[in-house]
Structures are given as C-alpha cells and as structure tokens.
Amino acid sequence: MDKVKSHLENVAVFGQGFVGLPLSLSFSFRGCNVYGVDILEKLVNETNKGITHHTECFEGKTIQTILNEELEAGRYRATADIPGALEKCNNIVLTVGMTEVIECCKTIGKYLKKGDLVLVRSTVVPGTTEDKVLPILEEESGMKAGVDFYLAYSSERIAEGFAFDEFAYMPTITAGVNAESAARAKELLEVVCQVPVIVASEIKIVETSKVFENVQRDVNIAMVQEFARFTEALGVSIHEVIEVANTHKRVNLLTPGPGVGGYCIPNAYHYIEPKATEMNMTMDILKLCREKNADLPNVMVNILKDSLKSVSKELSGAKVGVLGFAMKDYSNDDRISPPIEIIKLLIEAGAKVEAFDPAVPTDYDFKVDSLDKVLNGKDAIVVLAKQKQFDEITADSIISSVNKNAVVFDTRNLFKGIKDELNSSNIVYTTI
C-alpha cells in the first residue's frame, strides 16, 4: 500500500453500521490508523472480535476477512470511547443517521482540536451542515469553522453489498464551508476514492443532489409499480414488457418489487419536505409517489389474497411460507423492510406465517431456520427477497413440499425458470 500523508493517517469514523464499517476498513487497508466509533457496546465488542453480519466483499475477500486482517494489523479498532478517539484523530467522519448527526456534533465539538477536519457523510435535510452542524461545532469548541478547523460535506452514494467497490470507484462529491475545507476533504477522500473526487461550489448543492438521487429512485419505483398493476390487468408479463422497453437507448425502467426499504429511499422525500415547507413550496408528485410506495405492502397482501381465492382458499388460516425478509435482495439489512411489514400484515389477516432468511441475524417469532421448514405443508410460498441459498430451490422441492393447489407469489421473479413446471403441477404461479 502507498504511504498515507501524515495529516491523513488518523481517522475517526462515527457509526459502524452498513456505511461506517466498510468505509472505516477502506481507510485502514489503505494505510490509515482508524477508530471506528459507535455507542453500541455490543456492536463494538463483536466488531473487535472480528464478528460482523454484513454481506460485503471486495476483491475476492469477504468483509469478515478484511475486518480480521485489519484488526490483526492494528490499523482498525472499534471503540465507544469518543474522547479517546478524538484525541488521537484529526480527521472525523460522520456516517450516522440524520437524527444522530446533531448529537454527535455536540460531543465532537467539546473535543475538537485546532486543524481538525469534520466531514459529514450522512444524508441530511439540505442546509443542515451549515445551518446546524457548523454553529454547534463552533459553540462547543469555541473555534471558527474554516479558520481554526475544517468543515465539509460529502454525499454517501453506495449501495449495500457493493460498498467497498463504490467507495473506491463511484465518483465522490464534496464541498466545504470554504476552499481550504473543501481541499482538505478532497485530500482525505482521495485516500479511498480511486477515481477523481469532484468538488462542488456549495455544500447545499451536494446535500441536495444526494437527496434528489434517492427521491428519483422513489419516483421511478412508484411509476413501475403503476405499470405492473396495468400489465396485471392486461394479462401480460411486466418483466417482459420492461425487457422490451429497455432495449430503447434512452429508457431504463426499474424492476418492480414488494416495496421500498432501508433508510435512504423511503426517507428521501422527508428530507426535502421540511425545507420545501419552510420555503412555502409543495412537492405534490414526490409526496404522491412516497404514499404509493408506502402502501405497497398492502398491495402485495391483496395480490396474495386474490391468488389464494383463485384456488378456493382464504388468507385467514392459510399456511404461508416466506422466502427472504431482508429489505432488499442479497442483504442482511432488515431495517425499514417491506417484507417485514408484509409478514406483519399477513399475520394480522389470520395467516399462519413461517419465514426463512439465512442472511438476517435478527430473531422473530415467525422465523424458521431451514428451507425445508419454510416450504413444507404450505398453502402459499411468497418470495420477498432473494438470497444465494434460494438458488438451490427446484420445482420438485416445491411441488413435493407444498399442499395441494398451492400458490407461489414470486415478487422477485426468482422462479421464472421453473414457473411452467409449477403451473403444470397445479401450483398457481404469480409474479409482479
């Protein structure tokens, strides 16, 4: 690895979750001395033992391998000792959620040193860095931003599961409260980012562009869900329609799924709405799309209910096996997970639900520990998130396990290759 400049060597990354841990390790395996700061003692202890449930990988190594290598090398350690980390580090990166940013800054300000860089890498309401973070840091530290310490913002743009690659090869955007702050942030980000780091003219531009990126996906998802309802009524495959439409060079329709999960996209409209209200604006299209997407779990339950009725079965009392309850495919993240919401709605409707997701470590009353258990004796199988283990499922394993006249509701198009075999065995196959 190349030698890191001395003033970039020591980095404290606040938040050791889905963004913070891979970012911390990205700095450490490139030669930085990294303190991964988190207030959750259990998370800190597990991380320092080399335990993480994340599903990231980079250049053929799992995040578990990378973590253990960096712990052994002494370049990375997790800690709940905020004063100790800040004493040793002059580069401070925030990857915590919007609500935690302010509280973090109150603490950071108390221990801020002259010449330190504070880099916010959280999705925030546009204006937050300059209107809230800056005055808090100045008040708590007694120093002046841009003069005594540096303050900058850089949008986090990674997709979970691709964090290491996208930290390295996704264009990174930053801006500072002044030119010196922007230059210092750019220099730090270049330790990890292997493509040019782009410096925007204002922090609010970077904050706003990040929110717009997420809202755009929310709108596109709502649109393709409307398309899916149309094609269902028309009696044609939405997936084939999308495949045909996307042959147009200027068209890129998304694939419909059971809902919009995680912290980024579902919250994006709510980062815009307060500032829009403050400026006496309405964002009616964005609001409608958010409402439509928030209602998708109800839509999915109604589709399953109709599918069961087609084989003379009712949802109440039906035995339902759910494959996957992470918030998206190939993830272990169940935060703001549409599958979890769908499962809760199914249980409320009287269904007897058992669900299996080999990647999600969280315990639930409805969780079972094997494919056999989730398939056996079911009136319906519902696919809500793909996991690698599900690739092993064959038509025969479903046909031999489920009850007579069962339904397979495949929201992820996982079984598209075996749908004809399922249908020929009197299993109703439905997708979106």
* pLDDT at residue 2 tops 80: no
**Predicted local confidence at residue 196, as pLDDT:** 95
pLDDT, mean of residues 253-282: 92
Tracing tokens 């549409």 back to the chain, one arrives at 338
CATH code, 202-294: 3.40.50.720
pLDDT digits (tens, 9 = 90+) for 367-416: 999 999 999 999 999 999 999 999 989 999 999 999 999 999 999 999 99
The two beta strands, 197-199 and 352-356, are unpaired
The runs of H, that is alpha helices, within 161-260 are 163-169, 179-192, 203-234, 238-245
**Confidence at 160, pLDDT banded by 50, 70, 90:** confident
Alpha-carbon distances, residue 129 vs 110, 113, 153, 207, 229 (angstroms): 17, 19, 7, 8, 41
Query: pLDDT tens for residues 130-144?
Result: 999 999 999 999 999
| Residue 23 and residue 13 in contact, taking contact as beta carbons nearer than 8 Å | yes
Q: Read off the tokens for 420.
A: 């004809």
CATH code of 6-201, in short, is: 3.40.50.720
Q: Which CATH number is 296-432's, of 3.50.50.60, 3.30.1330.30, 3.30.479.10, 3.40.50.720?
A: 3.40.50.720
DSSP string, 313-351: --STT-EEEEE--SSSTT----TT-HHHHHHHHHHHTT-
Q: What's the pLDDT score for residue 99?
A: 86
> Are the beta carbons of 160 and 18 closer than 8 angstroms?
yes
- CA–CA gap between residue 278 and residue 305 (Å, rounded): 43
Domains 202-294 and 296-432 share a fold: yes
Query: Which amino acid would we find at residue 200?
Result: A
Q: Average pLDDT over the chain, rounded to whole?
A: 96
Residues 6+ apart with CB under 8 A from 101: 94, 120, 122, 124, 128, 132, 133
Q: Where are the domains of the chain?
A: 6-201, 202-294, 296-432
Query: What is the reported pLDDT for 1?
Result: 66
- Average pLDDT rounded to a whole number, residues 213-231: 96
| pLDDT confidence of residue 107 | 96
**pLDDT tens digits for 296-324?**
999 999 999 999 999 999 999 999 999 99
Chain segment 178-211, per-residue pLDDT in tens? 999 999 999 999 999 999 999 999 999 999 999 9
Residue 334 to residue 281: CA distance in whole angstroms: 34
pLDDT at residue 173 is higher than 70: yes
Predicted pLDDT of residue 418: 96
Q: How confident is the model at residue 262 (pLDDT cuts 50, 70, 90)?
A: confident
Residues in the chain: 432
